[in-house]
Amino acid sequence: MWKTILRRLMIMVPEVIILSVLVFLLAKAMPGDPFTGSINPKADPAQIKHLMEINGLNDPWYQQYWNWVVHLFHGNLGNSYQYQEPVTRLIEGRAGNTMWLAFFTMVLTYAFALPLGVYAGRHEGKLPDTIIRFYTYVTFCIPVFVILVLGIWIFGYVLGWFPTTGSVSSDAQTWAQTVGSRFYHILLPSLLGALFGTVNIVQYLRSEVIDAKHSDYVRTARSKGVPSKDIYRHHIFRNSLLPIAAFAGYSITGLLNGSIFTETVFSYPGMGLLFVNSISYRDYTVITALVLIYGILNLVGTLLSDIILSIVDPRVRIE
């Protein structure tokens, strides 16, 4: 298996290179440059030209790409034109926010979805199952941004239960206050994300449970007189979890992509919001860095899923 993982990692290298060239080219192909938006009577065009020149923006693309690659190997992703600070530091500041948000959303999603899935499968065809299926279909149908906007309106503004902007309150002084405030800010977006992101897990788990219910080992267990509670806990649940566990790798990347919506609606300063902003500013260095990071995370997520699958299911072997 280690060989396979190593091989997979090796394949990722050309993939990442191709990705980076594509992103770099596409970013440059967009009309405008990092200074297009600066046209105002206070910014002298001559100075803008000078800044374009010292930032190498007038060089041909392959030269710019090469410079970028060379810097990359020195751990330097360049400077953001918009934020005037190193991209690494900029992303560092935002990545934490996004990771926490994604982590909590994932924890809550599983916390909701696992019991629901098992319960629905166990009571297949009965009222609870119908209700749960109805719930998952409804949440699946509604686009995530609609939920977010509705959620922030109802719980943030009308009821006033949750903060509506930022990642931490400006009043938080002590360490405990800061942590508490951060958690409070993450709560609403991750709750909404979780409540409306359960459909895949619930449906998978439900059908796995239904399958398992009719399988031979369950029948054997039943005939031996094992209590129904134990059958579900020890036999069905564990086996049904296999595809869900394998799913985890993908869901990490899914959550990161979803952060673009959540962060924009909640004015939550993470990587998703940064990505959206840097596109409209033509902040090339940030765009390329972020796409590269997201790309690598996607590749790693896929690999992770395969590895998890092979660990939890001895029948699967990566060759």
Partner 1 sequence: MNKKKLVLSAMAVLATVSLAACSSKSSSKSSGTGNGSSLKLSTSYNNTSATDKTADEKSTLKVAEANDSPFQGISDPVLASNAEDSDVFAPGGGDSLFNVDKNYKIIDGGLANQRIDKKAKTVTITLRSNAKWSNGMDVTAKDIEYAYEVVANKNTTSQQYSSDFNAIKGMAAYHAGKAKTISGITYPDGEKGNKVVIHLSQVSPSMKFSGNSFIWGTVEPYEYIKNVPIAKLASSAQVRKDPIFIGPYKLDKVVEGESTTWSPNKYYYGKKAQIKHISINVVSSNNIVKAIQSKKYDITASGLGSTSYKQLKDVKGYAKTGQPALSYGYFGFNVGHFDTKTGKNVMDKNSKMANKNLRQAMMYALNLDQVYKKFGNGITWRANTLIPPIFQKYWDSSAAGYKLNIKKANKLLDEAGYKKRDGSKWRSDPNGKKLVIHYGAMTGNSTSAAEYQDYLQQWHKVGLDVQFTGGKTMEMNSFYTTLQAPKQNKIDVYSGAWSVSSEPTPTQLYGEDAPYNMGHFVSAKNTKLMQEMNSNKAWNDKYRTKVFKEWQNYMNEQAAVAPDYFAYGWSPVNHRVKGYDISPANTEFWSNMSLTSSKLQ
> Can you give the binding site for partner 1, defined by CB under 8 A?
30-32, 35-48, 50-51, 54, 79, 82-86, 89, 93, 152-153, 156-158, 160, 164-168, 170-171, 264-265, 267, 269, 273, 276-277, 280-282
- 11 vs 276 by CB, closer to partner 1: 276
Q: Which helix (H) or strand (E) holds 22?
A: helix 2-29
Q: Determine the Cα–Cα distance for residues 140 and 176; give it in Å rounded to an integer.
A: 37
- 44 vs 319 by CB, closer to partner 1: 44
Distances (CA, A) of 25 to 65, 284, 318: 9, 10, 35
CB of 270 to partner 1, least distance (A): 10
CB of 79 to partner 1, least distance (A): 8
CB 118 within 8 A of CB 205: yes
CB of 28 to partner 1, least distance (A): 12
- 64 vs 264 by CB, closer to partner 1: 264
- 171 vs 319 by CB, closer to partner 1: 171
Q: Determine the Cα–Cα distance for residues 196 and 213; give it in Å rounded to an integer.
A: 27
Burial (0-12, 13-18, 19+ Cβ within 10 Å), 158 = exposed
CB of 155 to partner 1, least distance (A): 12
- 50 vs 126 by CB, closer to partner 1: 50
CB of 50 to partner 1, least distance (A): 8
SS3 318: coil
Distances (CA, A) of 156 to 176, 181, 188, 245: 23, 15, 9, 34
